[in-house]
Structure 1
């Protein structure tokens, strides 16, 4: 496994989840992880993916940084990190968090940027590469975009969370994939964490639409379709009875899943 540091001679001791169903009952709250941002994902997701698909000192690229969950895992796992977010408040928060306590692995570069702006992303990835003394290529890309306008993170019109139309969302997300996947080395991996949405009294399978868009427009192989439960969903904590009543009083099912699509970039 040239793309990770796993010691397969002791494979029975490796705690990497290789199943396509991930049951995560509780969010990891250790270290710098705090559940302060509606829409952030559990740290166990980047932790699993980073250990499975990268080696120490390799570089992770992320177009939707959010509150820094992936960066904090990169620090813990000794990976370099390049991240962007359209929300300046999150950039400030993450900078502050990284200065809070001992930073054991300081090779990171974060910037407030519109991930749709190819020239701006190119500029900052070039600057990050100079800082890291490496080429512009990275070894893993992790994308956790907004699920359309379910949660509006900013009022910036370039923010994907402002989009309520599926076709427009897919068009914009395709542009972001183009902007970022060009920096991923061939034969390396990227993942998209995405959920479905419920609009106009019906389920919109946004996750599968995104998967289909990527397969049709990029040279990739789909390596995994993982279903992750969201038992600890912040919006439903402590109110399971109410949501169950609402579901029984109507005709829908309560969302407790997200998808993690793992792709391999091929030549």
Structure 2
């Protein structure tokens, strides 16, 4: 039986300060222990599907446990001698997700959060049960909720104390499976000592990193110093993004994967290819690009109520309305 970990949470009213090595958890942390208690998770049902030429696979079909022998890979629990049993895992580079998964603790209320199907796919493909996932832009906690569902351990950092508190509550509402441990920390990921934070969780490194930064200033998430959505220029945004990558890289095991979920923006009559710019930042740091997934992108709240206006603007100004974002998959050399 998994050992219970004491649960505590403390949110301070002041903005998070830069991390230092001496203080691995600076302003707030939620240790979310595996429990057998109740949660808001719903009974298994069909998951929102990815249109890829075959029927939807129910959520009740879970990935096989760790397999033995040479048939399994080193970075996941896929049994290659029974590869047909893993139909839930998508291998196509175009993802059309009809609707986000709002089951259990997931909610679409937070502006700019990404669909749970993305971190779920990444964990199934690039981690094994019991490994550690790092999310330096944890937001509403989507990645960590999926960690608890899939038996992965997760550490997330959020710069806004109020958002971090909400994420901790949401993640705690999801029952943990297979002994998963998760923690939400308030702080600036550009200054975070992820090694110390992982050490405080009993880990020495991470086996997967999932980065879903703001798409620059499309949505202003907070007034916190260091919030990437407050960067004044594209160059400043990319510099800050690179600082986060520089903090993540030392704690990510060699040969393991870093995923960047990012979309582009349109400003002052110009398409700004944030996705390609972030790709360049990763390549400059020696990462190997493994895949680019293009995912359909639903309208933001702001655009949803002005659909006709955006169509008019597109027709009048020679551009196309955003309907996609990128899932960039890198391997650390």
TM-score by length of 2: 0.74
SS in 2 for 1:189: strand
| Cα displacement string for residues 159-205 of structure 1 (whole angstroms, at most 9, x for unaligned residues) | 11101311111111111101011100001111000111111111011
SS in 1 for 2:317: coil
* Matched residue count: 259
Map 1:141-160; keep pairs closer than 5 Å: 141-160=209-228
User: Is 1:225–1:262's contact at 8 Å kept on the other side of the alignment?
Assistant: yes
| Cα displacement string for residues 90-148 of structure 1 (whole angstroms, at most 9, x for unaligned residues) | 211122223336444451121101111144x443232123xxxx3x2110000001111
Map 1:18-97; keep pairs closer than 5 Å: 18-97=91-170
TM-score by length of 1: 0.91
What residue in structure 2 maps to residue 193 of structure 1? Answer: 261
| Cα displacement string for residues 202-246 of structure 1 (whole angstroms, at most 9, x for unaligned residues) | 101111011012102x22210001111113544434654443233
Bigger Cα Rg: 2
Please identify runs of 4+ aligned residues in structure 1 that moved more than 4 A. none
- Judged with a 3 Å threshold, the aligned counterparts in structure 2 of structure 1 residues 40 and 101 are, in CA distance, closer, same or farther, namely closer
What residue in structure 2 maps to residue 111 of structure 1? Answer: 185
Give the deviation of 1:3 after TM superposition.
0.6
Q: In 2, distance between residues paired with 1:52 and 1:183?
A: 20
Q: In 2, distance between residues paired with 1:158 and 1:264?
A: 27
Q: In 2, distance between residues paired with 1:239 and 1:199?
A: 17
Q: In 1, distance between residues paired with 2:235 and 2:89?
A: 36
What residue in structure 2 maps to residue 5 of structure 1? Answer: 77
User: Is 2:133–2:210's contact at 8 Å kept on the other side of the alignment?
Assistant: yes
Q: In 1, distance between residues paired with 2:211 and 2:186?
A: 16
Query: Unaligned regions of 5+ residues in structure 2, if any?
Result: 1-72
SS in 1 for 2:113: coil
Q: In 2, distance between residues paired with 1:30 and 1:161?
A: 28
Of 223-232 and 37-46, deviating more is: 223-232
- Judged with a 3 Å threshold, the aligned counterparts in structure 2 of structure 1 residues 126 and 227 are, in CA distance, closer, same or farther, namely same
Give the deviation of 1:79 after TM superposition.
0.2
What residue in structure 1 maps to residue 291 of structure 2? Answer: 224
| Cα displacement string for residues 64-99 of structure 1 (whole angstroms, at most 9, x for unaligned residues) | 000000001001100000110001112111222233
